[in-house]
Amino acid sequence: DPTASFGLWVEQLVAESTGKHGRGILPVADEPLLEPENYGADRVFVHLRDGERVNAETDARIEALGKAGHPTFTLSVNGSEDLGRMFFLAEFATAVAGWVLEINPFDQPNVQQAKDATKRVLADYEASHELAEAQDADAAALKLLLGEAAPPDYVALMGYVQPSVAFDAAVEELRAAIRDATKATTTFGYGPRFLHSTGQFHKGGPRTGRFLQLLYDGETDVEIPGQSYTFTTLKNAQAIGDLEPLRELSLP
Confidence of residue 36 (pLDDT cuts 50, 70, 90): very high
pTM of the predicted model as reported, rounded to 2 decimal places = 0.91
What single letter denotes the amino acid at residue 146?
L
- Nearest to 96, CA basis, from 193, 14, 186: 14
pLDDT at 28 over 80: yes
Cα gap 78→39, rounded to integer Å: 29
**Mean pLDDT, the chain, as a whole number?**
92
Percent of the chain clearing pLDDT 90 (strictly above): 73
Instruction: Look up residue 16 and give its DSSP letter.
Output: H
- Residue 13 CA to residue 27 CA, distance in Å, equals 9
Query: Is the per-residue pLDDT at 108 higher than 80?
Result: yes
**Of 3, 4, 47, 28, which is closest to residue 189 (Cα–Cα)?**
28
Contact 210, 156 (CB under 8 A): yes
Please state, in angstroms and as integers, the Cα–Cα distance from residue 50 to each residue in 86, 102, 181, 205, following that order.
12, 34, 32, 32
Q: Reply yes or no on whether the pLDDT at 110 is more than 90.
A: no
Residue 79 has pLDDT above 90, yes or no: no
pLDDT > 80? residue 161? yes
